[in-house]
A and B are shown apart, each in its own frame.
Chain A
Amino acid sequence: MISYDIVIIGGGPAGLAAAVSARKAGIDRILILERDKELGGILNQCIHNGFGLHTFKEELTGPEYAARFIDQVLEEKIEYRLNTMVMDISTDRVVTAMSRADGMYQIQAGAVILAMGCRERPRGALNIPGYRPAGIFSAGTAQRLVNIEGYMPGREVVILGSGDIGLIMARRMTLEGAKVKVVAELLPYSGGLKRNIVQCLNDFDIPLKLSHTVVDIEGKEHVTAVTIAQVDSKNKPIPGTEERYTCDTLLLSCGLIPENELSNKAGVQMNPVTSGPLVNESLETSIPGVFACGNVLHVHDLVDYVSEEAKKAGESAAKYVKAGGREAEGGHVIAVKATDGARYTVPTTINTDNMDDLLTVRFRVGNVFKNAFVSVYFDDERVMHNKKRILAPGEMEQIILQKKKLAEKPDLKTITIKIEAE
């Protein structure tokens, strides 16, 4: 069996950044396995700009952002295999992969980094009544068709869901000559960035209907019309509010789900809130030597944070390999919890022996909060209390923990992040 020090599953932004940082940490034998025919992942189809403001202090398009990391992978002569599907990861880190060129084969990995990204929530998971004709696409599929393949999915479009991909596609389809008639959003607020609502919808006078959902799809062979209706506070359609739109295309932008079939099969313990693995301060999963980063761990809104997180995963994997795969024994382990408006944290445990001087804990809130406080408790003692003008579910938040502060509390059991009104 062939062997590598680190095998990275996925050659998107997370996999690329993890590979580069593992190399910089001194690991020679690194292999990236990528399912698509090129590196770069979803960034290849995200041709709009606005990427990289944090990392590179300039506004790049998706392909340009990806190229910055692909160039580093090439410079560092990091090995990668394209058109390669990973079928299985075992608990002792044997990776089973398959490609048309090489058939099925196995690789023994010193450490594995999960960087498989996420998938869009499909129609089947949305319970939309009506026929099942052609012309219904996830927004990301439409994005790939338009931007990579060069095909227009349709000319008259209704979009369900106001996530960023849906908003971006509303503009993209409009620029390419389609008529986007309406964007319907089930929630009373949009999960998309304000900038996208203004520049993708308002610029082109595309109406955004909040608290609305699709109640009927017409068309036997192909979509001919979509009916939307307003919903009440329990998300039930209100009779009499129906509006029918003739169209040939329905795009769905209704959330992203980390793609963890491999992780589940390997027995990695999952966080039901994020649908991603539970990880410690080193971004290591419940299986020793298996690390996770990027959208497979939790869905991000900014790729810059994916790169930052992946860098950490690459460094952690390198450290694990250099230590000969031996875990440090003992150490002071602290649980990290999210309550009162905070939905989840990454990581969920911290071993103070293994943490850097500063540790970033990322989290999301479950609702829109104005002029609220992000509070951090060390057991019952409040140690941080930061006022935020706005907190929104669509914007990932973070706090930074200092190792020396944790070292002062040898009996500390739980760190809790809460959102407080005062």
Chain B
Amino acid sequence: MEKRELTCIGCPMGCQITVELDNGEVLSVTGNTCAIGDKYARNEVTHPERTVTSTVVVDGGKAHRVSVKTAGNIPKDKIFECMNAINAVRVNAPVRIGDVVLSDVAGTGVNVVATKNVD
């Protein structure tokens, strides 16, 4: 059996939550004071996910860089792989918000899209 300690991000209370796991299966969630904490803890120990935001180089535009994000969450353990892939991207201006600058980043099935217009 495994025990994991988490800080809930659901609200400023920041409850210290303890999750008991057995073979990846959640046995118990304790320390939370509401349902948000229970849900957060279960997701966080079984499949933690994050949105990654960064910038990529733009050629021929009014700005040197354009901000980007993963269009959805990606597994937390893929963050650095995702960053390496994003750092290799160069795009040409103009770029519009929502333009895909990199598809299926790091084999996650998630696209990286522009978050700013650069003319």
A, B in one complex? yes
> Residues on A close to B: CB < 8 A?
44, 47-49, 59-64, 67, 146-150, 175-176, 193-195, 197-199, 202-203, 370, 389-390, 392, 394-395
Query: Which residues B35-83 have CB closer than 8 A to chain A?
Result: 50-55, 57, 63-65, 67-69, 76, 79-80, 83
- Complex contact A175–B57 (CB within 8 A): no
Q: List 29 A-B pairs, Cβ < 8 Å.
A: A44-B116, A47-B115, A48-B53, A49-B51, A59-B51, A61-B67, A61-B69, A63-B115, A63-B116, A64-B97, A64-B115, A67-B116, A146-B55, A147-B65, A149-B64, A150-B55, A175-B83, A194-B8, A194-B12, A194-B13, A195-B9, A197-B7, A197-B14, A198-B6, A199-B9, A203-B50, A203-B76, A389-B11, A394-B12
- Complex contact B9–A49 (CB within 8 A): no
Q: Which of B7, B13, B69, B97 contacts A49 (CB 8 A)?
A: B69
Nearest B residue to A59 via CB reads B51
- Complex contact A150–B64 (CB within 8 A): yes
Cβ of B117 within 8 Å of any chain A Cβ, yes or no, is yes
- Complex contact B12–A392 (CB within 8 A): yes
Cβ of B33 within 8 Å of any chain A Cβ, yes or no, is yes
Whole-angstrom distance from the CB of B2 to the nearest CB of chain A? 18
- Complex Cα distance, B79 from A21, in Å, reads 40
Q: Which of A149, A175, A198, A390 contacts B79 (CB 8 A)?
A: A175
- Complex Cα distance, B29 from A317, in Å, reads 52
Whole-angstrom distance from the CB of B96 to the nearest CB of chain A? 10
- Complex contact A198–B9 (CB within 8 A): yes
Among A44, A47, A193, A395, residue most surrounded by chain B Cβ atoms (within 10 Å): A47
Contacts of B7 in A (CB 8 A): 194, 197-198, 202
Contacts of A197 in B (CB 8 A): 7, 14
- Complex contact A147–B12 (CB within 8 A): no
- Complex contact B33–A389 (CB within 8 A): yes
- Complex contact B9–A194 (CB within 8 A): yes
Whole-angstrom distance from the CB of B114 to the nearest CB of chain A? 9
Nearest A residue to B58 via CB reads A150
- Complex Cα distance, B69 from A60, in Å, reads 10
Nearest B residue to A197 via CB reads B7
Known contacts A47-B67, A149-B64, A175-B83; decide if A193 and B53 are in contact (CB<8 Å).
Answer: no
Contacts of A59 in B (CB 8 A): 51
Contacts of A193 in B (CB 8 A): 12
- Complex Cα distance, B8 from A147, in Å, reads 29
Nearest B residue to A64 via CB reads B115
- Complex Cα distance, B64 from A44, in Å, reads 13
Whole-angstrom distance from the CB of B93 to the nearest CB of chain A? 14
Contacts of A175 in B (CB 8 A): 52, 54, 79-80, 83
- Complex Cα distance, B97 from A64, in Å, reads 7
Nearest B residue to A389 via CB reads B13
Whole-angstrom distance from the CB of B113 to the nearest CB of chain A? 10
- Complex Cα distance, B76 from A203, in Å, reads 9
- Complex contact B52–A390 (CB within 8 A): no
Nearest A residue to B57 via CB reads A150
- Complex contact A61–B64 (CB within 8 A): no
- Complex Cα distance, B93 from A187, in Å, reads 45
Q: Which of A61, A149, A176 contacts B115 (CB 8 A)?
A: A61
Contacts of A199 in B (CB 8 A): 9, 50
Extra A-B contacts (12), CB below 8 Å, given A44-B116, A150-B64: A48-B53, A49-B69, A64-B115, A67-B117, A147-B65, A148-B65, A175-B80, A175-B83, A195-B9, A389-B13, A390-B11, A390-B12
